[in-house]
């Protein structure tokens, strides 16, 4: 889908996790929120304006 990015890729791109394996663990453990909802799908498509939160960090997605 154009104009989207997988959650796991976004976390890696922004250095919030070190590897894809690390992204898998933190997402599937329920430690990441998208738009204030716990997200457990690694391939959750993020769009402009979505909010991602993990370990006290919060950021708005800009693709």
Structure tokens at 58: 């919060």
Query: Domain count of the chain?
Result: 1
- What pLDDT is stored for residue 44 in this prediction? 96
pLDDT for position 1: 57
* Alpha-carbon span 58 to 1, nearest angstrom: 24
pLDDT of residue 37: 98
Domain that holds residue 44: 4-60
In this structure, are residues 37 and 52 in contact, taking their beta carbons and an 8 Å threshold?
Answer: no
Q: Is the pTM of this model over 0.85?
A: yes
Q: What angle do CA 11, 13, 14 make, to 5 degrees?
A: 70
Where residue 29 sits, what CATH number does that domain have? Answer: 3.10.290.10
pLDDT per position as a tens digit, 28-62: 999 999 999 999 999 999 999 999 999 999 999 99
């Amino acid at each position: 889908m154009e104009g989207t990015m997988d959650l796991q890729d976004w976390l890696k791109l922004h250095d919030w996790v070190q590897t894809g394996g690390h992204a898998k663990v933190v997402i599937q453990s329920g430690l990441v929120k998208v738009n204030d909802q716990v997200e457990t799908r690694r391939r959750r498509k993020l769009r402009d304006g979505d909010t991602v939160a993990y370990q006290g960090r919060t950021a708005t997605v800009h693709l």
